[in-house]
Amino acid sequence: MRIVQIFGGLLGLAAAAASASAPPGYVQHEKREHQPARWTKLERARGILPMRIGLVQTNLDRAHDHLMDLSHPDSANYGKHWTAQQVIDAFKPSQNTVQTVQQWLEDSGITGVTLSDNKAWLAFHATVEQAEKLLRTEYHEYEDVHTGGVLPACDQYHLPRHIQQHVDYITPGIKLLAPEGIASSSHDIPLTKRGDSEGEIGLHRNSKSVARTRGPHVRKPKAGPPVNASDLSICDQVITPACVAALYHIPMSNLTSPNANNSLGIFEAEIQFWDQTDLNLFYANFTPTIPNNTHPISLNIDGGRAQTNYSDEGGPESMLDLELAYPIVYPQNITVYNVDDIHYQTWPNDTYTWGFNTLLDAIDGSYCTFSAYNETGNLANWDPTYPDPAFQGYNGTLQCGIFKPTNIISLSYGGQEVDVPIAYQKRQCLEFLKLGLQGVSFLFASGDSGVGNYAASAGGIDGPTGCLGPNYNIFNPTWPNTCPYITNVGGTKVYPGHNITEAQPESAVYDPSASNYSSGGGFSNIYPIPSYQAGAIATYFADHEPQYPYYCSLAPANATTPYDLLNITALAASDGNGTGIYNRLGRGVPDVSANGDNIATFIKGAFALSGGTSASTPIFAAILNRINEERLAVGKGPVGFANPVLYAHPEVLNDVVNGSNPACGTEGFRAAKGWDPVTGLGTPRFPEMLELWLGLP
């Protein structure tokens, strides 16, 4: 029995009575329960069908162990990253699966069967009659009433009993690929724009309304000359590159010949472009050692464009990322991945997925067709599709595997776990794991709205408070941060009056003047606590019991639906007395933190203070890039997935023990000695981190 997710939010639970109608020796494999209103069933299909059989892949359950085996510092295989081909081979369907299904096709008179490059699919052409006989089904034509497009599909199909265990699913099958609109799905909440509140610059988005849940908090530009770039006594007011270097003891890079394979990767989307004039102003004022016109390498994916020519479309996110990272990594290069064509970047029906899958497709071609958790490839209406026939659309095909991933990728975008289908999240999380096996580190901003999402009044899309449940008070963890195979960076700040020569001048960030900005943190409702984090979380609960009632419950492992259909109330009520407001069984966020408030930037020609965990992330990413540089120089590999090392060696971080991350009508969690769900293990200590990683194989 399997769950079939019907787009448009309807959940088709496979009918229990199905096998009753199956022909002898056959079992029903998939059945559509609800007929999406958007589709009209027409006459029987005719002609030739391009058939694809997704084969059940092996070893997904061992993926976690594989990653730990090469990223835990105590493992004999530490640092022995895999090649892309080894990853494909480890997770491909078993030989038995391929042979059994091939034999069945051959016995059924099907010819011209090919195995896909990533070994996950069998493809062939069949007449409708052949396909109907093979799958004991009937194909009809379905018309999309919105576009007039017609495609073949069936309402259910069957497989021989001995074949079922080898097949994930078959297309054309029950899926009607252009789904119903977002408006009828769980996203039935208007996406609204944030960034116009007092003290912030509105993002110019061609009237696009977008729920930005990360992002720079840019204050109004300040008139007049900026601050003294080398004066460390101002770090409690303005964070300059000199302040970042002093806080984390980062010496200026002394590289004369940077490694050509170690450019720092930064992800951008949603009309966030970099501008050379702003970069030049920044260098001239703060980092005179960086030459005028230094700029990143722009890798544009599926029509993306990374650079702007000094206009109002310039993006504060991209400028913030570059102005934090360049002072740390220069003379090493920065590579900006900008995803999706202008039509999608300005699409009013924001899909809330930020183009992460567009990036993953481009840096790992096998992801384009990879199946897991009953999902394959990009999800229509959640991910952009190419070619894009729209005005300014990218008219090429989806770019798969066109770029080699950089060793580190910094991503300052994200949303909430509750708003993204679980199967979609898990497949994407598995991809972060697979790239981790290949030595790639993903660093994500942990979120800027504490233990919840933004309130509706501040642009949040999760109800009035941004928190869950009937009383709108259940904490709302961030996505994709709860994936256990990425490193999440929370935010800290130097509060007024603190001097950076203090042992720990930073506390958890909280800035009421910027939409109550506070460091995203909390516990997943989907992913269990990973092994590397178990001790840290147990200590937190033992030593610093949060003052709130909690629940102990995770979404069922086989859940694939959009999360809110699982009914968070039921989840929270499933343990204790139903008053719990946070989960005690989930993966904790963030892992580490770095400064993210009052950051000195030049944006749109003017000096401005900016911030966000958007700022914290490129700082941490740039530090790991410097560590990679030195590991590569002595013939070692990149650090790859960093969490197991960091959790085993918290002494290489400054423990942040003050502050909290307010939201949901609470002060949030409190920062405390040891790991906490506000600042993680703490902020970087560059020399100690470098020494630790240089000592690992």
**Site residues, ligand NAG (CB under 6 A):** 1-3, 13, 181-183, 228, 230-231, 233, 251, 254, 258-261, 263, 280, 284, 292-293, 297, 333, 348-349, 373-374, 395, 499, 501, 549, 556, 558, 560, 567, 569-570, 573, 576-577, 579
- 676 assigned binding-site residue: yes
- Nearest CA to 191 out of 346, 61, 396 is that of 346
- Nearest CA to 330 out of 364, 286, 374 is that of 286
Q: What does DSSP say about strands 441-445 and 487-494: parallel, antiparallel, or unpaired?
A: parallel
| Contact residues for 254 (Cβ-Cβ < 8 A; gap 6+) | none
* Residue 228 or 457 having the CB closest to ligand NAG: 228
* Residue 49 or 159 having the CB closest to ligand NAG: 159
The residue behind tokens 């506000």 is: 678
> Residue 577's beta-bridge partner residues?
none
Q: Cβ 516 to ligand NAG, closest distance in Å? A: 26
- Under 8 Å between Cβ of 682 and 247: no
* Residue 9 or 677 having the CB closest to ligand NAG: 9
Q: Cβ 333 to ligand NAG, closest distance in Å? A: 4
- Under 8 Å between Cβ of 328 and 623: yes
CB atoms within 10 A of CB 294: 17
Hey, is 422 helix, strand or coil? helix
CB atoms within 10 A of CB 100: 19
- 655 assigned binding-site residue: yes
Write 15-23 long-range contacts (CB < 8 A, 24+). 18/156, 22/136, 22/158, 23/136, 23/158
Q: Cβ 490 to ligand NAG, closest distance in Å? A: 25
Active-site residue flag, 321: yes
The residue behind tokens 């960034």 is: 195
* Residue 108 or 501 having the CB closest to ligand NAG: 501
Q: Cβ 184 to ligand NAG, closest distance in Å? A: 7
Q: What angle do CA 453, 302, 369 make, to 5 degrees?
A: 80
User: Choosing from 524, 614, 616, 660, which is the catalytic residue?
Assistant: 614
* Residue 94 or 569 having the CB closest to ligand NAG: 569
User: Choosing from 268, 317, 341, 388, which is the catalytic residue?
Assistant: 317
Active-site residue flag, 117: no
Q: Cβ 129 to ligand NAG, closest distance in Å? A: 26
Number of residues that this document lists for the chain: 697
* Residue 172 or 490 having the CB closest to ligand NAG: 172
Distances (CA, A) of 375 to 55, 183, 380, 418, 430: 12, 22, 11, 18, 12
Q: Cβ 362 to ligand NAG, closest distance in Å? A: 17
Active-site residue flag, 614: yes
Q: Cβ 192 to ligand NAG, closest distance in Å? A: 15
* Residue 432 or 444 having the CB closest to ligand NAG: 432
User: Choosing from 30, 168, 180, 321, which is the catalytic residue?
Assistant: 321
- 511 assigned binding-site residue: no
Token readout for 141 is 């034509």
The residue behind tokens 């590991």 is: 631
* Residue 197 or 280 having the CB closest to ligand NAG: 280
Residue nearest ligand NAG, CB atom distance: 181
DSSP secondary structure of 159-188: EEHHHHTTEEEEESSS--SS---GGGSTT-
- Please give the Cα distance from 612 to 597 (Å, whole number): 6
Q: Cβ 167 to ligand NAG, closest distance in Å? A: 7
Q: What does DSSP say about strands 415-416 and 375-376: parallel, antiparallel, or unpaired?
A: unpaired
> How would you classify residue 584: left for phi > 0, otherwise alpha for psi between -120 and 50, otherwise beta?
alpha
Q: What is the Cα 440 distance to its own chain's centre?
A: 14
Active site residue ranges: 317, 321, 614
Binding-site residue positions for Ca(2+): 655-656, 674, 676
* Residue list for the binding site: 655-656, 674, 676
